[in-house]
């Protein structure tokens, strides 16, 4: 339960930053300029698209949890027709995640259009739009593009509270994105040296967040939640793959990745087909957790 409450807090706590960006460019000086007016329109469209994406993500996550449960029951009961039912559930999950990915891509594109029209605006306003765009990219599956944007935002422009809060929010999203990437790479059968590199980055960012939160007197539950995320990343590194297959993905994670990883010369995450999943890996994991 604590992990679920944490991830509802992480990221969403920073979401309060975004309306500040809207007010900054919609009511600031020169709002009658055409580019600024278009940016305001695109921003409203982006926020509306985001609500749609959030709903589709929830549907995809539920299909994912149902698919795991179906595989587990099929394995334990060995009932006739179990393979067909499992295949149908897996197909439902695949379609649901594809729909969510497309919706998040539309959100990222909308925020990119906002950014393009704010070239001469306050850099801090632009940074907040970039945060929203990067977050949407990660959830669409374009994890490597999203992490590149978030890296640039994880260092505050100044010691002003707003800049520090945005940098913290960017680092939260960055840590989460590296965790998503590490888990998806491992599930796709990539070599340990590849997915462990992403897991190490996730662990380092979560640890820094936990240490900073403790040093600044943050709520004890927040600190503990960040420490839990460090432990969760360690579990990802040490857990047997078959056990990992029986555990639900985080709620906001995509189901696959797209684009080039840093240093990779081609599209995609692997030249292998995704690991074939069945009930055998699902029986030993215990109850399906709620995800993050």
User: Domain spans of the chain?
Assistant: 2-254
For residues 169 and 209, what is the distance between their CA atoms, to the nearest angstrom? 10
Condensed to tens digits (0 to 9), the pLDDT of residues 247-276 reads: 899 999 999 998 877 656 444 444 343 444
CATH topology of domain 2-254: 1.25.40
Coil, helix or strand at residue 281: helix
| pLDDT attached to residue 267 | 44
Q: Which of the two residues, 288 and 234, has the higher pLDDT score?
A: 234
For residues 125 and 213, what is the distance between their CA atoms, to the nearest angstrom? 25
Sign of CA dihedral 182, 187, 192, 193: negative
For residues 144 and 154, what is the distance between their CA atoms, to the nearest angstrom? 15
For residues 252 and 263, what is the distance between their CA atoms, to the nearest angstrom? 26
Structure tokens at 213: 């939160």
| pLDDT attached to residue 18 | 54
Kind plus residue range of the DSSP H or E element containing 156: none
| pLDDT attached to residue 78 | 63
| pLDDT attached to residue 287 | 31
For residues 100 and 56, what is the distance between their CA atoms, to the nearest angstrom? 5
| pLDDT attached to residue 273 | 37
Which residue in 109, 114, 108, 102 sits closest to 38, CA to CA?
114
Condensed to tens digits (0 to 9), the pLDDT of residues 84-140 reads: 787 888 899 999 999 999 999 999 999 999 998 887 778 899 999 999 999 999 999
Q: What is the pTM of this model?
A: 0.80
DSSP alpha helix (H) spans, the chain: 2-9, 12-15, 17-26, 34-77, 82-116, 123-140, 143-153, 161-187, 192-215, 220-238, 241-245
| pLDDT attached to residue 263 | 58
Condensed to tens digits (0 to 9), the pLDDT of residues 182-241 reads: 999 999 999 999 999 999 999 999 999 999 999 999 899 989 999 999 999 999 999 998
Contacts of 274 (CB under 8 A, 6+ apart): 187, 188, 189, 256
């Amino acid at each position: 339960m604590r992990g679920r409450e944490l991830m509802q807090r992480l990221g969403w706590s920073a979401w309060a930053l975004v309306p500040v960006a809207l007010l900054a460019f919609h009511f600031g000086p020169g709002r009658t300029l055409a580019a600024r007016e278009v940016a305001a329109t695109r921003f409203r469209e982006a926020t509306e698209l985001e609500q749609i994406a959030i709903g589709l993500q929830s549907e995809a996550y539920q299909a994912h949890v149902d698919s795991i449960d179906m595989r587990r029951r099929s394995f334990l009961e060995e009932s006739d027709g179990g393979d067909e039912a499992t295949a149908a559930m897996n197909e439902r999950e695949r379609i649901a995640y594809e729909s969510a990915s497309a919706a998040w891509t539309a959100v990222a594109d909308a925020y990119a259009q906002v950014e393009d029209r704010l070239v001469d605006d306050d850099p801090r306003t632009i940074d907040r739009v970039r945060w929203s765009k990067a977050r949407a990219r990660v959830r669409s599956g374009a994890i490597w593009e999203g992490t590149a944007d978030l890296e640039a935002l994880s260092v505050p422009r100044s010691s002003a509270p707003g800049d520090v809060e945005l940098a913290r929010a960017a680092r939260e999203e960055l840590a989460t994105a590296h965790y998503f990437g590490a888990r998806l790479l491992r599930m796709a059968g990539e070599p340990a040296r590849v997915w462990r590199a992403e897991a190490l980055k996730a662990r380092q960012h979560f640890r820094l967040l936990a240490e900073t939160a403790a040093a600044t007197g943050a709520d004890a539950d927040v600190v503990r939640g960040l420490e839990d995320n460090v432990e969760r990343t360690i579990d990802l590194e040490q857990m047997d793959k078959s056990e990992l297959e029986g555990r639900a993905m985080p709620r906001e994670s995509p189901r696959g990745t797209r684009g080039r990883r840093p240093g990779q010369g081609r599209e995609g995450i692997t030249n292998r087909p995704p690991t074939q999943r069945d009930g055998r890996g699902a029986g030993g994991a215990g109850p399906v957790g709620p995800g993050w």
